[in-house]
Amino acid sequence: MLWRAISEDSPGPVWAGLFSEYWPDYRRWWLREGDSVRPTYMESRRALNEHMPEIVELYDQLCELAGGGDQASRFLSFYCPPPYLSGCSQAIWTGKEPVLIRNYDYNPNAFDSLILKTNWMGRTVMGTSDGLWGLVDGTNDAGLSLSLTFGGRRIVGEGFGVPLILRYVLQTCKTAEEAGEALARIPTHMSYNVTALDKKRNYLTAMMAPDRPAVITHAAVATNHQEAVEWVSHARFTATVERERYLLQRLTLHRDPQETFINAFLKPPLYSTAFSVGFGTLYTAVYRPRKKEMEIRWPGTVWSLSMKDFQDGSRVVRLPGSEAADAAREHSI
């Protein structure tokens, strides 16, 4: 995988170039159920204006940079997108220095592999891109960090793709409490768990769903179910209960030092090599909101990034276990 770290303070030619590069693949994904299945531009913009009005002007800027086309603009709204699943683990290390750690388990062929640092709307945000302005994890200059996991439910409803919700929260919120209030009111199209940590060590996990009110908890751990397992086969396949228990034991029984706890994410049962079925661990992210720093880790490699001294760059990463997936794809061809 080729990873890139790219910064651009205001929406401009860098972002426009990225959109041009990624759009053909995203367009195929967005249209996979047919154009008529997705909401119209007016429906999408109306939903944004109702639920996230503070970012509508930014949305309009990005649509213009994307060429102003109907399909691109509807895609960028993230409103009622096609369903997608991931299998992730995340936890708050509750020692003296607050740290949010997460594994992102997903299909490497459907991933931006891009770290973006922006200063949109006067708020600096740094994180892992999805859909070129959505985020699957990130942090802002107020010292608020977020990450998401799939909530383990089949139900799809009317709402936004959760990466845009993370972007909105990081653009508009400063504390975990403010994040919780936003996460409780914004509709999501599928079930997700979003964990928020701020620089004052306050944290929460919001269990969001399209068919019931969000539940705001003080959980320090989230995997791929919510209060109870509802999708049993998915839970067994992803070992969501086993991963949750393992993390809770590390936090409560073993009381691991920070580095020991972080390194546990790079080994089984948290680290997955199931790339052939789209659930391999693409990276481990470490967020330190007080320091406004993040790390992207792979076995044997750490990429450190600082909001204060962000350096554009790239890394080529060979994921352990991905060779078998490559061989399987070649054999099927």
Q: pLDDT of 156-202, one tens digit each?
A: 999 999 999 999 999 999 999 999 999 999 999 999 999 999 999 99
pLDDT, mean of residues 40-50: 98
pLDDT for residue 227 is more than 70: yes
If you ran DSSP here, which 8-state letter would residue 100 be given? E
Question: What would the pLDDT profile of 82-99 be if each residue is shown by its tens digit?
Answer: 998 888 999 999 888 999
What's the number of CA atoms in the CB half-sphere (13 Å) around residue 226?
22
pLDDT for residue 250 is more than 70: yes
Q: Which residue has the higher pLDDT, 323 or 211?
A: 211
pLDDT at 297: 98
pLDDT for residue 131 is more than 80: yes
pLDDT at 58: 98
Long-range contact set of residues 260-267: C-beta below 8 Å, sequence gap at least 24: 261/91, 261/93, 261/101, 262/93, 262/99, 262/101, 262/286, 262/297, 265/89, 265/101, 265/102, 265/103, 265/297, 266/297, 266/298, 266/299
pLDDT for residue 304 is more than 50: yes
pLDDT at 333: 32
Q: What tokens does 314 get?
A: 């790239």
pLDDT at 322: 61
Which residues have CB under 8 Å from 156's CB, separation 6+?
83, 189, 190, 210
pLDDT for residue 324 is more than 50: no
pLDDT, mean of residues 244-256: 93
Residue 262's pLDDT band, with cuts at 50, 70 and 90, is: very high
pLDDT, mean of residues 299-326: 86
Is residue 44 within a helix (H) or strand (E), and if so which, with residue range?
A: helix 41-51
| Mean of per-residue pLDDT scores for the chain | 94
pLDDT at 87: 86
Name the percent of the chain in helix, strand, coil, to the closest 5: 35, 30, 35
pLDDT, mean of residues 320-329: 51
pLDDT at 276: 83
pLDDT at 326: 47
Q: How far is CA 214 from the centre of its chain?
A: 18
Question: What would the pLDDT profile of 269-293 be if each residue is shown by its tens digit?
Answer: 999 998 888 889 999 999 999 999 9
Q: How far apart are CA 203 and CA 146, in angstroms?
A: 10
pLDDT, mean of residues 262-273: 96
**Nearest C-alpha neighbor of 197 from the set 175, 224, 221, 166:** 175
The pTM is what? 0.95
pLDDT at 323: 55
pLDDT, mean of residues 209-234: 97
**Nearest C-alpha neighbor of 168 from the set 79, 288, 300, 293:** 79
Portion of the chain with pLDDT greater than 90, in percent: 89
Is residue 255 within a helix (H) or strand (E), and if so which, with residue range?
A: none
Which residues have CB under 8 Å from 277's CB, separation 6+?
none
